[in-house]
């Protein structure tokens, strides 16, 4: 698939088939992620792959314990796009354990070596994560960036024995899609581009 076609249709997928994602597919995604740029080529990234049903169950229960009041009390949005996003997010959270694989994108505070800064962890992990989701789209695999599983970070750290120096940033749901990929809706280029000066 052409890379522009992949980016144009790389919508957040919140509904997945039960079909598992293979080890080879996951390794291909991590390969794509780790082709990304990073500050000074420091490559302070790490990826925790969670496909163990027991772990997903514990994390999913904790996530829902925190989010249930929000979902049960929220008013339906008048905006159809927002409503679709919120109901999709609820479906994803409620079905956390059924998502075939979760990839936790993490980073170490290693750059610059003489005075490591937290901000460089963000600049390390997000280009890699974006590479990963575009590569997945090109393979017909759906993904959704999420941050809500951060509520279960202590459980993830304990169950997966994550070393203390790894920081957890974004949790990517990965699976074959149950719904169609659609063109992403984004601002037109003309609205976000400036040549040389705002004057």
Ligand X SMILES: Cc1cc2nc3c(=O)[nH]c(=O)nc-3n(C[C@H](O)[C@H](O)[C@H](O)COP(=O)(O)O)c2cc1C
What are 47's strand-pairing partners? Answer: 105
Tell me if 131 contacts ligand X by CB under 6 A.
no
Tell me if 62 contacts ligand X by CB under 6 A.
no
Which region, judged by CB under 6 A, interacts with ligand X, from 58-66, 96-104, 140-148, 151-159? 140-148
Of 6, 8, 9, 12, which lies in the binding site for ligand X, with binding defined by CB under 6 A? 12
Tell me if 124 contacts ligand X by CB under 6 A.
no
Residue 53 CB partners (closer than 8 Å, separation 6+): 97
Q: Are 174 and 103 in contact (CB under 8 A)?
A: yes
Which region, judged by CB under 6 A, interacts with ligand X, from 30-38, 53-61, 134-142, 144-152? 144-152
User: H or E segment at 89?
Assistant: helix 80-94
Tell me if 147 contacts ligand X by CB under 6 A.
yes
Of 14 and 56, which CB lies nearer to ligand X in the complex structure? 14
Which region, judged by CB under 6 A, interacts with ligand X, from 6-14, 26-34, 72-80, 105-113? 6-14
Of 43 and 181, which CB lies nearer to ligand X in the complex structure? 181
Residue 102 CB partners (closer than 8 Å, separation 6+): 49, 50, 51, 56, 59, 96, 149, 171, 172, 173, 174
d(Cα 112, Cα 38) in Å, to the nearest integer? 11
d(Cα 77, Cα 84) in Å, to the nearest integer? 9
| Interface ranges with ligand X (CB under 6 A) | 11-12, 14, 85, 89, 92, 144-148, 170, 184
């Amino acid at each position: 698939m052409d890379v522009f076609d992949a980016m144009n249709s790389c919508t957040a997928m919140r509904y997945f088939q039960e079909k598992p994602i293979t080890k080879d597919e996951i390794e291909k995604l991590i390969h794509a992620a780790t082709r990304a740029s990073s500050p000074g080529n420091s490559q302070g990234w790490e990826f925790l792959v969670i496909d163990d049903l027991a772990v997903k169950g514990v994390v999913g229960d904790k996530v829902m314990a925190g989010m249930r009041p929000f979902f049960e009390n929220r008013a339906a949005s008048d905006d159809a796009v927002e409503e679709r996003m919120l109901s999709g997010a609820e479906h994803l959270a409620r079905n956390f354990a059924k998502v075939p694989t979760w990839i936790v994108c993490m980073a170490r505070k290693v750059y610059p070596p003489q005075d490591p800064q937290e901000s460089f962890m963000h600049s390390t992990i997000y280009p890699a994560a974006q590479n990963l989701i575009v590569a997945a789209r090109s393979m017909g695999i759906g993904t959704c960036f999420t941050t809500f599983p951060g509520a279960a970070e202590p459980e993830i750290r304990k169950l997966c024995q994550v070393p203390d120096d790894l920081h957890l940033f974004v949790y990517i749901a990965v699976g074959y899609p149950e719904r169609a990929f659609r063109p992403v809706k984004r601002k037109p280029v003309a609205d976000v581009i400036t040549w040389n000066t705002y004057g």
